Structure 1
Amino acid sequence: MPSYGGMVDRQHAVLNYAGGQWFVEDLGSRNGIRIEKKEDGKLYQVSGEHLCRVNTGDILYIGNTRLKAL
């Protein structure tokens, strides 16, 4: 069975809540974070230089893990 532990860094990302909105920020991880936006179904790479707003129904991809915003 393969090991996926190396796909996620110890400090990979952070979720911030500000002004009534959630934001995700990549902390310079090796494999990055992707977000599938509910409004257009497209998959975007999250930049380490800019916060990315997370809306209800968006899906975050971190390594082999999917997190859906409810």
Structure 2
Amino acid sequence: MGLIYVRTKDIEVNLNGLKIEYSIEPGKVLVLILDGNQGKAKICEAVEHGFTIVETVRGQAKRIKFEESELL
């Protein structure tokens, strides 16, 4: 069986005020998903060349697609 690589990670949410705190990482473009339906927050790094797509179903976040390409 192959190794599964998870690109997203959970961020701690302050449930009292539903706030999060996260630092900007120099040299990176990060995608932050704030899911008000589930009270969760996730973060992932955007691909260097291509698309980082948050897919929703019926107004709820379901998956993130990473479409990468290479410059010629």
Work out whether the TM-score is over 0.5: no
Q: Which fold has the larger relative contact order, with Cα–Cα distance below 8 Å and residues 6 or more apart in sequence?
A: 1
More helix by share: 1
Give the alignment's TM-score, normalised by structure 2: 0.26
For the pair shown, which has the larger CA radius of gyration, 1 or 2?
A: 2
